[in-house]
Amino acid sequence: MLLRTFKFQALPLKPHFRSHQSLSLVSSIPIDDAPNDTVYHVSSLIKKPGWEKNNQLKLLVSHMNPLVASKIIALHSNDIPLSLKFFKWVCMQSTYCYDIDSRIYLLDLLVSGNLYGTVHKVIVLLIKEYCNSETDILELMGALEDLRKRTGYRINYPCYSTLLTCLANLKMGLMAFLVYKRMVEDGFVPGDIDWRTIINALSKIGYVQAVEMFVSRILKVGFALDVHVYTSLVLVNCRAGDLNEAFRVFDLMSAKDGCGVNSVTYSILVHGLCEVGRLDEACKLKEEMSKKGCPPSTRTYTVLIKATCDVGMINKAFGLFDKMVRRGCKPNVHTYTVLIDGLCRLGNIEEANGMFRKMLKEGLLPGTVTYNALINGYCKEGKVVSAFELLSVMERRNCKPNIRTYNELIEGLCKVGRPYKAMALLRKVINSGLLPTEVTFNIIVDGFSRAGHVNVAFKILHSMNSIGVKPDEFTYTVLIDALCKIGNLEQANAFLGVMVKKGLTPDEVTLTAFIHGYCKIGSARYALVLFEGLIKDWYLTGPHIFNLFLDVLSKEVKIVEENAIFGKMLKYGLVPSIVTYTILVDGLCRAGDTNSSMKMLELMKQNGCPPNVYTYTVVINGLCHSGKVEEAETLLVEMSQVGVSPNDITYVSLVKSHVKAGRLNSAFEIVSTMFQNGCQPNTEIYFALLVGMVEMTADTGPRFSVADLNTESSVIGEKGVDCSSNFVFREIDFNHAVQLQDRIRKCGGRTIDVYNFLISGLCRVGRILEADNLIQEMVKHGLTPSSHICSSIIEHFCKDHNFDQCLEWIKRLLDYGCIPSFASYSAVIVGLHNEGEFQNAQWLICNLLRTAGIEDQTSVLPYIEFLLEGDEPCKCFELLSLIEWMDQNERPII
């Protein structure tokens, strides 16, 4: 029904940031103006056998422009295969003819020379081999429409048929329908393959009624329904979410008098089941395929591998991969990409890199999607150097980055706190002819908001409006959240008004930001009004907002109000989560009512929501804070008996309580138990032990009081205390550090963690020589200092602008096997450069590339220099001003 309302319009859409004005002028440029000596020389060479490998010819065409190429093709217009072969070859060899714009320009020149026999073949070639994205095909279609208007040129039937196939492959069903209408208007009769293509194109976008209409039409014109058409009917119902109808069609196909099913049909159903989360049924259907004589294809396995990766079952995904290989089903690029993406999402970037190398070894060329997955993985880990290396590899291998590639890199830069650098990268996006999307701007808005540059985020919002990129709910929510966090509720409310005025509905996340903001500034009354509104309008989708209120009341020890909110939560049918119960338990512990908190643990078990490690930890905290250490230790044993393993935070309060009471040996016994249970102490525990040791050995009285040691650990939404307070590390004797290591070693612990804790503290207060003694001792025992230690040392010297000393320390740390972070390298390189020590700065850059494992340093060097450049806010605002002109036909040249 929807398709019947479509009226055919001019095929192309005006491409963003590209101008076709040059095309409209082509017909006025005579081909005879091309330099004849080059034209005839090349023409004679391409008549010889094996001309594609002729180095002299490659040199001649390396900078050949489309005008000269069109003249050569014109000379061989009678030999269409040769003309086509040369067109394809020159597009690969000439720097002028590489991108789609230049190829279209060359096509335009051929039309102006009336070389229609060659033109038809060239168009088919362009569609098949060079239009791999929606942007490319729309640009080519735009050029063809422009040619039609200016010259009257019309594509022939093979061009139409190829175009339909391309649009179907790119899942552009509506555009395929419009092309079909134009094809009929031009007097061409669709063949059997064209009907199948149109039906398949519409099936991929889930247009059931349109597909049924075309099925009726092909029956009327006398074509029989075969397995391809039936399979499209299965596909369209799967895309529409009607699996029952899809299986009904499948059963008709499988019947004795049916057309039969094939591997594609099964794979589509497997995909449909995976999309709705019925993974077990999908796996069973895959097994049924083999029994029915339809062995699972690469696509079948890839669909299942992706589904298992999506739910985090990476081991099962690799099991399917191994089974696939054993059965002789060769993985393709998409299979490897799915696994690489799955590994990256789990943070297993090295394993993902291994799969990438294996893929190359198999002779498979990664596409943009594969590179994007790896770039995303590196950016999530904060490894922006490796991410930009991949970008340079893409460009070197002629794999064109898309807007998703740049979005990943922009997000990576924002993640490491470089939003201005992300904005500078946007300049490259625009110059590459790509259109920044809502996602691009949202990432940058979020990046500046998180970095505290809310005013810049506002300016970016204004730039979005100026180029017609509409801010969405996410954009406004990010800004509202940032304003609420800094306590500017008045301006946040103004943005909420703008948001509603634009027809954007604030969701639970938006209003939660307001509630959190009001609670933070102590305006619980306003927060409660919003809360009531949420309940009234049924915005609530889960217990999160109730948990937020309960948490605020818990910290204020308002038990009566807590119970009232909890009662409302139950009234509205929301099931309390384990977080809800843990917050309630925390409130009781803060109020000193540990008996009630213990009863709450039993209530949780009765309600089918057994306490987890965090709930137990809260109660143990409460017991320790109330001086009931023995009861806390008993509960620690009980939680282990019911299968809940304590974590490092669970032990913190117990260790602190013993230290505070002067029972240092008991504290170390707790630590020994930790090691036996496979749990490593955190810095809070090491700090408490260190303070206890200092107090025990103080001759003239303690220089700081253990009584000031807070026995509570941060469990419920609180930031932990500064466990390695600077004053402790300024005052301690070096012997205390040695003694702490010895005691931890006797407890069976890892000394590397103690080393890192002590060295970081000593570095922070400037006791570098003593830190160096510990580092040397580490290295002597075969241990490698952490990157955090490197950063601490470099940061100490950078504060005093002592960059020569920084350089010496980097060399020493590298000898120790410790690799500084990119931020440390950057700080020292920029410092050396500013002081005119260019040679040392260059050495550090080369060293940075080597330690990052960069193979081709020359290609990635421009990006490294880009990353090392300081942030320039003024250029950011200049770019924003230029972006505001991007709604014009011509994109700005920046």
Q: Where are the domains of the chain?
A: 1-155, 784-869
Could you tell me the end-to-end alpha-carbon distance of the chain, in angstroms, rounded to an integer? Answer: 46
Find the length of the chain: 894
Most trustworthy range by pLDDT among 207-216, 428-437, 498-507, 783-792: 207-216
Residue of higher predicted confidence among 873 and 190? 190
Mean pLDDT of all residues in the chain? Answer: 80
Q: Torsion angle of alpha carbons 882, 888, 891, 894, nearest 10°?
A: -20
pLDDT tier at 534, thresholds 50, 70, 90 = low
pLDDT tier at 126, thresholds 50, 70, 90 = confident
Assigned token pair, 402: 């898309």
- Torsions phi, psi for 508 (to 5 deg): -60, -35
For the range 809-818, what are the long-range contacts, defined as Cβ-Cβ under 8 Å and sequence gap of 24 or more? 810/844, 810/847, 813/785, 814/847, 814/851, 816/775, 816/776, 816/778, 816/779, 816/784, 816/785, 817/779, 817/784, 817/785, 818/784, 818/785, 818/786, 818/787, 818/789, 818/790
Q: Which contiguous run of DSSP H or E holds residue 358? A: helix 349-361
User: Is there a contact between 437 and 475 (Cβ–Cβ < 8 Å)?
Assistant: no
pLDDT surpassing 90 at residue 105:
no
Range in 373-377, 569-573, 768-772 with the lowest mean pLDDT: 569-573
State residue 411's pLDDT score.
Answer: 94
Query: How many Å apart are CA 466 and CA 445, to the nearest integer?
Result: 15
State residue 892's pLDDT score.
Answer: 37
pLDDT surpassing 60 at residue 842:
yes
Query: How many Å apart are CA 337 and CA 374, to the nearest integer?
Result: 9
pLDDT tier at 342, thresholds 50, 70, 90 = very high
The architecture of the domain spanning 784-869 is Alpha Horseshoe (1.25)
Residue type, position 798, single letter? C
Q: What is the DSSP letter of 556?
A: T
Range in 389-403, 483-497, 519-533, 633-647 with the lowest mean pLDDT: 519-533
Which whole number is the average pLDDT over 849-863? 73
pTM: 0.71
pLDDT surpassing 80 at residue 783:
yes
pLDDT surpassing 80 at residue 746:
yes
State residue 162's pLDDT score.
Answer: 92
pLDDT tier at 717, thresholds 50, 70, 90 = very low
pLDDT surpassing 90 at residue 460:
no
pLDDT tier at 512, thresholds 50, 70, 90 = confident
- The three-class DSSP label of residue 712 is coil
